[in-house]
Structure 1
Amino acid sequence: MNLLQALLEPTPLPPSDRSKRVAINSPLYNEILEFFYDEAELLDTLQLRQWGETLTSDIEYNLPIRLTRPGRLQDQTVVRTVQHMHESHGSLMVRIMRITDTKSAWGEDPPSRTRRLVTNVRVYKTDKDNEYKVQSYLLVTRNRFDCDEFDLIPCERHDIIRRDGSQLKLARREIIVDQAVIGTPNLGIFF
C-alpha cells in the first residue's frame, strides 16, 4: 500500500465480538437506539446544526464504493481507498454551513424530503471504555421537487458511538450502500 492509499483508507473499525454484544432492551441498548431515532429525526427535519452537535471532533464519516464480484470474492466488494464520501468534522461542518447558511447549495435547494428507517441495530462493547460499535441497517427514502418518484437507498452502517459526559456522540460512520451504482443524482444528504 502506498502513502496515498494509506491516507485515503479509513481507520479500521473494531471487530464485532459476539461475546461483547449488548443485550437488546438493556438500558444501554435502548439509549443507543434512542440516539439513532433522534438522529434520524434531526436529519429528516433538516435540523443539521443540531445534528452537527452530536458529532465528535475526531469523527470519520465514510461512504466507500461498492463493486460487483462473484460469490467467491464477496469479501472484495467494498473498496475503502475510493469513496463517494470521505469526511472529517471540518468537512462535515462546511457541508452543514453550506446547506443552512448560503444560497449556493443548489444540490439541496429546495431540500430533499427524506425518511431514514433504522433497523437491525446490534450494539457491541469495544476495548475502549465508553465506546460502542453499532451495526445497523438503514433505508433512506428521498423525494425531490414535485416528482411522483422517489429514491430508495438501502445500506448498512457501521458506527462508533462514544459517551461524552452524559451524551452519546457519533465518532465514526461507515455507510455500505447496497448498490454498486447509486442511482440518485447529486447525493448531498447525510446518512
Structure 2
Amino acid sequence: MTAVIDPGLLAAFQPAGPVPFEVRLAVQDFLIDEAELLDSRRFDEWLALFTDDVEYRVPVRITRRIGNPDVVDDIFHFDENRASLGLRVRRLGTNVAWAEDPPSFTRRFVTNVRVAWGEREGELAIRSYLLLYRSRGDRGTHDLISGERHDLLRLEADRIAIARRRVILDQSTLGTKNLAIFF
C-alpha cells in the first residue's frame, strides 16, 4: 500500500540539485497512504513507517506579541520516540484506552507538500499542512485541528521511513477534550 521510492532514483540525483518530480510525487503518495492508515486505525502498520531513532514532537504554541517566537520547544503536547509510540499503539488495542473508547472517527487532509533534500544523503526534508477532522460518539460534535508538519524522511534499505516529525499546531489552546490521536 505505501508508496515506495526507488533507491536508484534517489541515488541518481545529487542532493544539491532539484528534487525530481517522481520523488515529490512518491512523497505525496507516502503521506496520503500514511493518513489512510491512521484514519482506518491500522496503527501497527503506521508505526512500521518510522525509523528506530524517530523523534515525534508536537510543541506547545503560545500567543505572544509580534516579533517573539510563538512555539515553545521545551514544552510539548507530545515528545515521543519509537518505544513510546509503540506503547501508545499497543494501548489503543486494549480495553483501557478510555480516551479512545468509543474510537474517534478521523479524516486527515494532507496538503501543500513541499519536498527538499535533507542535510544528509538519503534524506528528504518535507513540509506539509494537515487538517484533521475528528468526531466521537453520537453527540454530533467534532474537532478541527490544523497545523504544519515538518518531517524528515530517510531512505532505509528498500523503504522510506519517517525519522523525525515536528507538528506545529495552529492553535495555542486546543478545544478537544483529549489528545489521544496521532498527527
Query: Please, what TM-score do these two structures have when normalized by structure 2?
Result: 0.89
Question: When the two structures are aligned, how many residues end up with a matched partner?
Answer: 168
Shift of 1:185: 1.2
Partner of 1:118: 110
Asked if structure 2 preserves the Cα contact closer than 8 Å seen for 1:98 and 1:105, the reply is yes
Shift of 1:39: 0.1
SS at match of 1:124: strand
SS at match of 1:84: strand
2:38 is the alignment partner of 1:43: yes
Asked if structure 1 preserves the Cα contact closer than 8 Å seen for 2:118 and 2:152, the reply is no
* Separation in 1, partners of 2:118, 2:78: 25
* Separation in 1, partners of 2:119, 2:128: 20
Q: How does 1:105-184 map to 2 (within 5 A)?
A: 105-184=97-176
2:76 is the alignment partner of 1:79: no
Asked if structure 1 preserves the Cα contact closer than 8 Å seen for 2:61 and 2:168, the reply is yes
Asked if structure 1 preserves the Cα contact closer than 8 Å seen for 2:54 and 2:162, the reply is yes
Q: How does 1:86-101 map to 2 (within 5 A)?
A: 86-100=79-93
Shift of 1:105: 0.3
Partner of 1:58: 53
Task: Decide which structure has greater helix share.
Answer: 1
Runs of 4+ in 1 over 4 A off after TM superposition: none
Q: Residue 164 and residue 80 in structure 1: after superposition, are their counterparts in 2 closer, same or farther (change >3 A)?
A: same
Q: Residue 80 and residue 21 in structure 1: after superposition, are their counterparts in 2 closer, same or farther (change >3 A)?
A: farther
Question: What do you get for the CA RMSD once the two structures are aligned?
Answer: 1.2
Shift of 1:72: 2.2
Partner of 2:29: 34
**Residue identity matched to 1:56:** T
**Consecutive unaligned residues in structure 1, runs of 5 or more:** 1-18
Partner residue of 1:69 out of 64, 69, 74:
64
Query: Please, what TM-score do these two structures have when normalized by structure 1?
Result: 0.85
